[in-house]
Amino acid sequence: IVYTRKTVDLEKYGFRRITFKWSVVKKVLDISIYMMLQYLLSIVTWLMFFVFIENYLGERSLAVTNIVRSLYTIVTIPSHALGSAVNTMVSNTIGAGRQNEVLNLIKRVTLISLFSMLAIILIVAVAPRLMIHIYTNDTSLIDDTVAPLYVLLTSLPFYAIGTVLFSAV
């Protein structure tokens, strides 16, 4: 910030007076409000899920669920990254006037996402206790977490494909 203030002509880029142009804010919100609502819905859904588990199934089930959720968050990072990448790549491809290449692009990125996820699934499936051990030393909690982790692993290929396809549109 100090470097920018000393070396850049702030007036040239409009940084002397920062003002809101409410017409621009309205246009941005008109476009983005649906994505914001979707994100809010996903957060509220997770929150309700964990509140339900804590209130009705107990502390132990909540601990298992938190471990599985944390592992889920980590193993889905590549799919999220590829989803963001395909979103940008599709926009750039369409912007370059090469709409006929979009489906092949989506197919390639979807396959990369799927095979990346399959590699991650294989690693976690071979050593689930080692992965869970990152979060806890309690052997009975580790034992209780293995089965739900395997259930999660079965859904991840669909997640890898779905995330890329959803982000591509």
Other CB atoms within 10 Å distance of the CB of residue 38: 10
pLDDT of residue 102: 94
Question: What are the angstrom distances between the C-alpha of 45 and each of 42, 62, 88, 99, 156?
Answer: 5, 15, 28, 36, 19
Q: What is the pLDDT of residues 50-74, one digit of tens each?
A: 778 777 888 888 889 889 989 999 9
Q: Residue 53 has what DSSP assignment?
A: I
Q: What per-residue string of b and e applies to 5-23 under the rule 16 or more CB within 10 Å gives b? A: eeeeeeeeeeeeeeeeeee
Q: What mean pLDDT comes out for the span 12-28?
A: 80
Q: Three-state DSSP class for 102?
A: helix
